[in-house]
Amino acid sequence: MISAPTPPAEGDQIDTTDLPAHVAIIMDGNGRWAKARGLPREVGHERGVEALRKTVRAAQDLGLSHLTVFSFSTENWRRPVKEVNALFGLLRLYVKQDLKRLISEGVRIRVLGTRVGLPTDILALVEEAEVKTAANDTFNLCIAFNYGGREEIVRAAQTIAADVAAGKLEAGAISEDCFSTYLDTGNLPDPDLLIRTSGELRLSNFLIWQAAYAELVFQDVLWPDFGAKHLREAVAQFQNRERRFGGLATGVA
């Protein structure tokens, strides 16, 4: 008996000439992953860093150029001190352990979010990572850490107001494009694909200006279990969407 050929998995049908310019990920579900195994939440975050490493590799292999991940939100300060400290510790470890390799791979690192409230050693590490990778352009990794979309917008508005008061900017010259350059994402392309893991269906204050026209993909996988397969599936879903940006579908008069 001849069996029917297995259809290729959705993630295998990727058009590498039509990749999203910028993929953003809300890495959700570390706590639930740990709880399901009777482990402390911090272990879930540790496994989350492993998933992040795999995902950066997969994004590079796929030919993506910009990846932004949500690592610590301005609202995450409400968590127990032990968990907040664990997340700070993981950022320290990630930069210390991976920076050399990321530099050699041509990765440019940017850390998005407010620096207010961050410990001085983290500020120094963030600065080191940004400065040492500033000339790289093969792949852009943005780590949103101590990040909140509304806080970012308010901070941009304050800088704009200061520039107008100082005579550096005309109030009438504040366009959407101009405003965007004042955000932490500066001149980066807007994310056109935003993925959230763990089945939750929210943006949670992540890139709320930049994601205005992003295609949203929600996946039923807890972040520590995320890998190349899930990234490819999300990109395949993105490529199957019709993007109209408020216009009409192709062929509709």
Please identify every residue annotated as catalytic: 28, 76
Out of 19, 129, 143, 231, the residue judged to bind ligand FPP by CB under 6 A: 143
Cα gap 134→111, rounded to integer Å: 12
- Residue showing the smallest CB distance to ligand FPP in the complex: 31
The secondary element (H helix, E strand) that includes residue 53 is helix 41-62
Contact between residue 168 and residue 148 where contact means Cβ atoms under 8 Å apart: no
| CB 22 to ligand FPP: min, Å | 18
| DSSP code per residue over 159-200 | HHHHHHHTTSS-GGG--HHHHHHTSTTTTSPPPSEEEEETT-
Question: For residue 221, which of 209, 210, 206, 232 has the smallest C-alpha distance?
Answer: 232
The number of beta carbons lying within 10 Å of the beta carbon of residue 252 is 7
Cα gap 138→65, rounded to integer Å: 7
- 36 or 162: whose CB is closer to ligand FPP? 36
- 73 or 185: whose CB is closer to ligand FPP? 73
Out of 24, 91, 125, 221, the residue judged to bind ligand FPP by CB under 6 A: 91
Binding residues among 94-123 for ligand FPP as defined by CB under 6 A: 94
- 23 or 91: whose CB is closer to ligand FPP? 91
| Contacting range for ligand FPP; rule: CB under 6 A; set: 85-93, 106-114, 117-125, 179-187 | 85-93
State yes or no: residue 125 binds ligand FPP (CB under 6 A): no
Binding residues among 213-252 for ligand FPP as defined by CB under 6 A: 223
- 25 or 236: whose CB is closer to ligand FPP? 25
Out of 45, 66, 110, 232, the residue judged to bind ligand FPP by CB under 6 A: 45
Cα gap 217→33, rounded to integer Å: 20
The number of beta carbons lying within 10 Å of the beta carbon of residue 122 is 19
Cα gap 210→95, rounded to integer Å: 26
State yes or no: residue 31 binds ligand FPP (CB under 6 A): yes
Q: Which residues bind ligand FPP (CB under 6 A)?
A: 27-32, 45, 48-49, 52, 71, 76, 87, 90-91, 94, 143, 198, 223
